[in-house]
């Protein structure tokens, strides 16, 4: 990667954005960003354009005065307004760059609010540190999951369930696919976080202030009493909610890649067979057979196609693995996150790939021109390169602003991989 003193069109988003998504996976929760009004407005609109759903985000609305004298008054007022206006069970307070830079002691401010105002007893307040100068939206999501479990999990009687932690940002449809698989197979589980309904709700006459759905509070508390924890999409993160449960409550923890493609889905299935003591239901065995058939059908179209994959680390890892299984040639594998483990994992999957970690789209564009790329796969933020170089772009991942249906896009499991190989083949035929 060339040396650069500035980021041009980043390949990742702000840390609090991931925090908002994670908190949306908790039942009856709201997020308040401690920082300027512009931060919450930007992130709210970004998520609305992707999910095509209302995403309310509170703000402490720090101004110049707050930046100089501290934001305690604003934060307390914001918390009170959210409780009065939304009646949430949980409020997630995520910090922005401004709040972290001025050095606000957010935990102390929350404690003061809880002591001073009786209304504070009506909601559980969870604070998470998410300044964007320390990480991307991926890290914000992961830190929020960990902070939530740290705050809520409590030891009690063993529940004979297993925890399924979604360690990477995937679509509501992907969550629904996982839940359907588990209901067909082994229903004794706690899934966290659950955005399957909160970020893809059906149209109703009277829109609720907070979308229904999400992991219930009682289940998050009960995660400390499960028999084990399985995190999917958390293989290259140094800390996680699952590791906290293992360290503090003795709940054994296993991490697996996102079940994208054949091998990674087989690994997920094998682990579920181990946990449940039951064989894979025939429905999904037949899905696997149809995926193999789809790979044979599409091979003559996709074989050897020089591809650039970019986006979130865990999603990109899964797609890269699936591309190798399909016969495509992932020449460029890129992410905006700064994670050395990403490079090592990609090289294990695809030794010939050029791996780009912590890059922006200026760097990706330069490499794409050098490699004679024929297909791009990633979020819609790469569309400018696609148009300029006349390279077809298959939009997968967050954000997807110029197409509809991002919340209903399934890439997990055998079914998701079948959709992906069909769509790749059709995209290449259309632009061939």
Alpha carbon 362 to its chain centroid, in Å, reads: 24
1, pLDDT greater than 50: no
pLDDT of 185 strictly over 80: yes
Give alpha helix (H) positions in 57-136: 64-69, 72-86, 97-102, 106-116
Using one digit for the tens of pLDDT, what is the confidence trace for 278-314?
Answer: 999 999 999 999 999 999 999 999 999 999 999 999 9
The reported pLDDT for the residue numbered 235 is 80
Average pLDDT over residues 17-41: 95
pLDDT at site 23: 98
**Element containing residue 190 per DSSP (H, E):** strand 189-192
β-pair partners for 355: 333
Token output for 85: 């206006």
* 53-68 pLDDT per residue, tens: 999 999 999 888 877 7
Q: How do residues 312-363 score in pLDDT, each as one tens digit? A: 999 999 999 999 999 999 999 999 998 889 999 999 999 999 999 999 999 9
Please give the distance of CA 87 from its chain centroid, rounded to a whole number. 26
Instruction: Label residue 386 by pLDDT band (50, 70, 90).
Output: very high
Share of the chain above pLDDT 90, in %: 86
How buried is residue 117: exposed, middle or buried, by Cβ count under 10 Å (0-12/13-18/19+)? middle
Q: What is the pLDDT of residue 239?
A: 76
Task: Give me the domains of the chain, ranges plus CATH numbers.
Answer: 15-150 (3.40.50.1980), 162-281 (3.40.50.1980), 283-430 (3.40.50.1980)
161, 189 contact by CB (below 8 A): yes
**What is the model's pLDDT at position 175?**
98
Q: What is the CA radius of gyration of the chain?
A: 22
Query: What burial letters (b/e) apply to 151-171, b meaning 16+ CB within 10 Å?
Result: bbbeeeeebebbbbbbbbbbb
Q: Tokens 């508390």 map to which residue?
A: 221
**pLDDT score of 82:** 97
For 247-283, the pLDDT digits (tens) are 999 999 999 999 999 999 999 999 999 999 999 999 9
Q: Mean pLDDT of all residues in the chain?
A: 94
pLDDT of amino acid 66: 73
Look-up: residue for tokens 């479990």?
A: 149
pLDDT, tens digit, 9 for 90 and up, residues 87-118: 999 999 999 998 899 899 999 999 999 999 99
Model confidence at 3: pLDDT above 70: no
Mean pLDDT of 38-57: 93
CA dihedral of 22, 28, 34, 38, whole degrees rounded to 10: 80
SS3 117: coil
Residues whose CB is less than 8 angstroms from the CB of residue 122 and which lie 6 or more positions away in sequence, other chains included: 83, 87
For the entire predicted model, the pTM comes to: 0.96
pLDDT at 145 over 80: yes
pLDDT confidence bin for 120, thresholds 50/70/90: very high
């Amino acid at each position: 990667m060339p040396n650069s003193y500035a980021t041009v069109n980043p390949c990742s988003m702000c840390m609090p954005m991931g925090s908002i998504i994670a908190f949306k996976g908790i039942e009856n929760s709201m997020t308040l960003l401690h920082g300027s009004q512009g931060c919450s407005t930007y992130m709210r609109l970004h998520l609305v354009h992707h999910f095509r759903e209302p995403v309310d985000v509170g703000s402490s609305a720090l101004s110049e005065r707050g930046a100089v004298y501290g934001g305690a008054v604003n934060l307390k007022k914001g918390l009170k307004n959210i409780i009065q206006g939304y009646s949430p069970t949980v409020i997630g307070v995520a910090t922005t760059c401004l709040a972290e830079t001025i050095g606000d002691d957010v935990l102390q401010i929350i404690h003061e609010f809880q002591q001073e105002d009786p209304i504070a007893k009506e909601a559980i307040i969870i604070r998470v540190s998410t300044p964007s100068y320390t990480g991307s939206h991926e890290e914000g999501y992961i830190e929020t999951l960990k902070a939530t479990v740290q705050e809520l999990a409590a030891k009690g009687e063993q529940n004979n369930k297993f925890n399924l932690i979604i360690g990477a940002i995937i679509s509501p449809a992907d969550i629904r696919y996982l839940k359907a698989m588990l209901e067909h197979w082994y229903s004794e589980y706690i899934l966290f976080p659950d955005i399957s309904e909160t970020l893809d709700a059906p149209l109703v006459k009277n829109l609720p202030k907070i979308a229904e759905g999400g992991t219930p509070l009682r289940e998050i508390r009960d995660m400390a009493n499960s028999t084990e924890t399985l995190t999917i999409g958390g293989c290259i993160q140094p800390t996680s909610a699952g590791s906290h449960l293992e360290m503090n409550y003795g709940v054994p923890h296993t991490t697996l890649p996102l079940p994208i493609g054949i091998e990674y889905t087989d690994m997920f299935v094998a682990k579920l067979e181990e946990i449940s003591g039951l064989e894979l239901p025939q429905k999904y065995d037949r899905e696997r057979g149809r995926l193999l058939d789809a790979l044979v059908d599409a091979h003559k179209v996709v074989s050897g196609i020089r591809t650039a994959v970019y986006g979130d680390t865990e999603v990109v890892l899964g797609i890269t693995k699936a591309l190798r299984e399909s016969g495509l040639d992932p020449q460029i594998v890129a992410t905006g996150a700064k994670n050395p483990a990403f490079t090592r994992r990609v090289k294990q999957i695809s030794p010939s790939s050029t791996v780009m970690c912590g890059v922006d789209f200026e760097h990706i564009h330069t490499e794409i021109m050098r490699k004679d790329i024929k297909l791009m796969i990633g979020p819609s933020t790469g569309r400018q390169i696609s148009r300029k170089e006349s390279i077809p772009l298959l939009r997968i991942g967050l954000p997807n602003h110029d197409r509809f249906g991002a919340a209903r896009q399934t890439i997990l499991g055998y079914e998701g991989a079948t959709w992906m190989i069909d769509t790749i083949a059709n995209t290449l035929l259309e632009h061939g």
